[in-house]
A and B are shown apart, each in its own frame.
Chain A
Amino acid sequence: MAITTDNNAPAPPVAERASTSTGRAGDKIFLGLSRGSGILLLVIMASIAVFLTYRASLALSQNEGNFLTTFDWNPAGDPPVFGIAVLLFGTIVSSVIAMVIAVPIAVGIALFISHYAPRRLAAPLAYVVDLLAAVPSIIYGIWGALFLVPYLEGLNLWLDQFLGWTYIFEKTQVGVARSLFTVGILLAIMILPIVTSVSREVFLQVPRMNEEAALALGATRWEVIRLSVLPFGRSGVISASMLGLGRALGETMAVATVLSPSFVISLHLLDPGGGTFAQNIAAKFDEATELGRDALIASGLVLFVLTLLVNGAARLIIARRKEYSGANA
């Protein structure tokens, strides 16, 4: 990729010096502009952290409860008390459910598109998946709330009936399925397209030679996939899942429409209740006082750090895998 420009190339004729020198000045300006916008990007990231931390510290200094362990969100109260325990729990649980459901299915679809689908079907399918990745989250939200929730009643009943002994699938409250579990399913559906399309890209980059070598040894299609496609695509799938996880962690509108929030931590996933960072911000923002807004900013800061960690970890994994995988893609 390196472009070598030899600035000491044969001295240009004297007559053209003038024009060359203006060109060099243009070079400097252009380099300055483009480097400047790169730096601006870093400045934006830094100032996000700084500004959020500053406003959060204003709120935290007035908080009478423990920010990490309080099961309440009442910054307008006297004394003001708020804590993120429930939100952290809900965010992580719903995202984990989403990942558990979405990643295997997404890998399946990606394999389907890249290796199983009839040739004529594959290209349009990939196209449709890409389009679905562009559906706005609020639309998933109202679809989830008005359509998916009633449809999940039956499934919830089943889970309670057959898997109720596992504790997490025991339904202890009657009521519609506006639970963390439903949120997890909806998030899974939402992140499917993005995980699928990134995984598919990677699966398509598997060197054909590897696959053909396996086929030539008499491997079945599954063995080809297990021996050459999956090992090659592992880092890609990990990065895709991390991207999906990042989305699921920060998803606001879909959760806000589906979940009926409450400030309790319960491992009975089918019971309505719980909350997530983003959902709490959306729900509490309208009535929030100045302190309330700062408190919400404080919870947003935690969410920011969480997504930062997930994304940073994903990038590091990919960067490290790249060295070993022998892929120059």
Chain B
Amino acid sequence: MSNAIQDAAPTQAPPRRDSLSHRRMPRWAPAGFAAVSIALGVGIGTATGLESRIQWGLIAAAFFVVISYAATSAVENRRQAKDRLATSVVWVCFVLAVVPLLSLVWVTVSRGIKVLDGYFLTHSMAGVPGFEPGGGVYHALIGTLEQVGLATLVSAPIGLLTAVYLVEYGKGSLAKAVTFFVDVMTGIPSIVAGLFILSIMLIAGLAPSGLMGALALAILMIPVVVRSTEEMLKLVPNELREAALALGVPKWRVILKVVIPTAVGGITTGVMLAIARIAGETAPIMLLVFGSQLINTNPFEGAQSSLPFYIWEQYRVGNEASYDRAWAAALVLIAFVMILNLVARGIARWKAPKTGR
């Protein structure tokens, strides 16, 4: 051992390949590649006169992946190059996905802000021709709030009780069937839920109203509530249940007084996220509530509007004034959904039962 070391030449041996000291790319290399490929993308784009920025981006992305791979396999080895290839592809995926999503938010905000003001929020479209500017979203806002409220009143208790059944009582084939169909129900397209209520309306001879829309929304909402509530109830430690049961408390009181209060934060979050999801549904409203330009505060009778339906209506009118209104309503709807989401997640973080991760 010691001989070998003494025999070695005192001068530094050239670094062997595949050892820990083999040549590495500098840390700034990926950033450099990115800069070079963006420059190439822009250069080629302007040189060949491609007007679409999408093409520029794709060229740059392709260059980034190729340059990273080529440079790394030249400087380092093939395994490292493959690693670098994967890294660059993942980064490209990320950028590819973020760009349209950011653009969506940006377009909605920048175009929506043009018309959005106090007047827009407090007036309906009564007497406003579609091709003229003016009018507002008040009637649609009322409609959305009432329909979503009714849907929540119907679906929250059913969803909650079903989840309690699955977690606390559920054994055997009934529970298995319910679990399976909750999963399947999550995938029901909103328009099918709308058609279902529509077929009931056709058979029973009912007229379109906010309530009908709310029932379709409830069908979409129930499985979401069941899923999230179920997850939350499963997080409640068994020790709590066992401690309460050991004191001789009947099971239903254990559930009502111990299990549900422990999970109430998560359950609220789940319900709010479900509300956020159904608030943006257009298709059932289109089939069942019919749409209206006027304020109708009674969800049990007569046509109503709703925010997503209003956007669709204004889009279909198809001129600049109505597009502006559509974007402004879209901004209101996004704000509504995002606030619900943020508050819900805030509650979740605040009330979350402590878990490992």
- Are A and B interaction partners? yes
Given A20-B250, A189-B100, A250:B158 Cβ within 8 A: no
How near does chain B come to A99, taking the closest CB pair, in angstroms?
15
Binds A, one of B9-17, B31-39, B45-53: B45-53
Complex contact B162–A38 (CB within 8 A): yes
Measured between alpha carbons, how far is A250 from B191 in the docked complex, in Å?
7
What total of A-B pairs shows CB separation below 8 Å? Answer: 299
Q: Which of A1-42 contact B (CB under 8 A)?
A: 1-3, 5, 9, 12, 16, 20, 23-24, 26-27, 29-31, 33-42
Chain B CB within 8 A of A220 CB = yes
Measured between alpha carbons, how far is A112 from B323 in the docked complex, in Å?
36
Q: Which of B97, B248, B283, B334 is the one whose CB lies under 8 Å from A278? A: B283
Find the residue from B92, B219, B282 having the highest chain A CB count within 10 A.
B282
Please, which residue of chain B has its CB at the minimum distance from the CB of A145?
A: B315
Complex contact B245–A3 (CB within 8 A): yes
Q: Mark A36-62, 1 if CB is under 8 A from B, else 0.
A: 111111101101100110110000000
Given A3-B168, A23-B253, A282-B191, A41:B334 Cβ within 8 A: no
Binds A, one of B21-29, B102-110, B116-124, B294-302: B102-110
- Complex contacts, A106 vs chain B, CB 8 Å: 97
Q: Which of A132-162 contact B (CB under 8 A)?
A: 132, 134-143, 145-148, 151-155, 158
Complex contact B90–A29 (CB within 8 A): no
Measured between alpha carbons, how far is A154 from B242 in the docked complex, in Å?
65
- Complex contacts, A307 vs chain B, CB 8 Å: 187-189, 192
Chain A CB within 8 A of B4 CB = no
How near does chain B come to A219, taking the closest CB pair, in angstroms?
9
Complex contact A41–B315 (CB within 8 A): no
How near does chain A come to B103, taking the closest CB pair, in angstroms?
7
Given A52-B196, A108-B90, A143-B104, A153:B189 Cβ within 8 A: no
Find the residue from B238, B252, B281 having the highest chain A CB count within 10 A.
B252
Complex contact B252–A29 (CB within 8 A): yes
- Complex contacts, B180 vs chain A, CB 8 Å: 312, 315
Complex contact A136–B83 (CB within 8 A): no
How near does chain B come to A310, taking the closest CB pair, in angstroms?
7
How near does chain A come to B80, taking the closest CB pair, in angstroms?
6
- Complex contacts, A251 vs chain B, CB 8 Å: 189
- Complex contacts, B342 vs chain A, CB 8 Å: 131
Chain A CB within 8 A of B351 CB = no
Complex contact A41–B283 (CB within 8 A): no
Complex contact B192–A109 (CB within 8 A): no
Measured between alpha carbons, how far is A35 from B163 in the docked complex, in Å?
10
Complex contact B311–A138 (CB within 8 A): yes
Chain B CB within 8 A of A263 CB = no
- Complex contacts, A44 vs chain B, CB 8 Å: 185, 219, 222
- Complex contacts, B271 vs chain A, CB 8 Å: none
Please, which residue of chain A has its CB at the minimum distance from the CB of B311?
A: A138
- Complex contacts, B157 vs chain A, CB 8 Å: 37
How near does chain A come to B229, taking the closest CB pair, in angstroms?
11
Q: Mark B169-204, 1 if CB is under 8 A from A, else 0.
A: 111001101101111111111111101101110110
Which bracket fits the contact residues of B? 35 or more
Complex contact B54–A154 (CB within 8 A): yes
Chain A CB within 8 A of B276 CB = yes
Complex contact B107–A147 (CB within 8 A): yes
Measured between alpha carbons, how far is A24 from B277 in the docked complex, in Å?
39
Complex contact A303–B191 (CB within 8 A): yes
Measured between alpha carbons, how far is A304 from B240 in the docked complex, in Å?
42
Find the residue from A1, A12, A193, A252 having the highest chain B CB count within 10 A.
A252
- Complex contacts, B248 vs chain A, CB 8 Å: 9, 12, 16, 20
- Complex contacts, A27 vs chain B, CB 8 Å: 250-252
Measured between alpha carbons, how far is A33 from B161 in the docked complex, in Å?
7
Measured between alpha carbons, how far is A35 from B167 in the docked complex, in Å?
11
Measured between alpha carbons, how far is A310 from B178 in the docked complex, in Å?
18
- Complex contacts, B101 vs chain A, CB 8 Å: 132, 189, 192-193
Complex contact B312–A138 (CB within 8 A): yes
Q: Which of A26, A47, A108, A252 is the one whose CB lies under 8 Å from B190? A: A252
Complex contact A136–B93 (CB within 8 A): no
- Complex contacts, A47 vs chain B, CB 8 Å: 196
Q: Which of B90, B222, B315 is the one whose CB lies under 8 Å from A112? A: B90
Complex contact A55–B181 (CB within 8 A): no
Please, which residue of chain B has its CB at the minimum distance from the CB of A142?
A: B315
Measured between alpha carbons, how far is A142 from B280 in the docked complex, in Å?
13
Measured between alpha carbons, how far is A33 from B165 in the docked complex, in Å?
9
- Complex contacts, A252 vs chain B, CB 8 Å: 189-191, 282-283
Given A35-B174, A105-B93, A220-B82, A282:B87 Cβ within 8 A: no
Chain B CB within 8 A of A300 CB = yes
Chain A CB within 8 A of B131 CB = no
7 contacts between A and B (CB under 8 A): A23-B253, A29-B252, A41-B223, A107-B93, A112-B91, A222-B82, A253-B312
Interface of B with A (CB < 8 Å)? 50-55, 58, 79-80, 82-83, 85-87, 89-94, 96-97, 100-101, 103-104, 107-108, 157-159, 161-162, 164-171, 174-175, 177-178, 180-193, 195-196, 198-200, 202-203, 219, 222-223, 226, 234, 238, 241-242, 245, 248-253, 255-256, 273, 276-277, 279-283, 286-287, 308, 311-312, 315, 323, 326-327, 330, 333-334, 337-338, 341-342, 345, 357
Known contacts A27-B252, A137-B280, A281-B191; 9 further A-B pairs (Cβ under 8 A): A30-B256, A51-B200, A51-B203, A108-B90, A116-B90, A220-B82, A222-B82, A246-B187, A252-B282
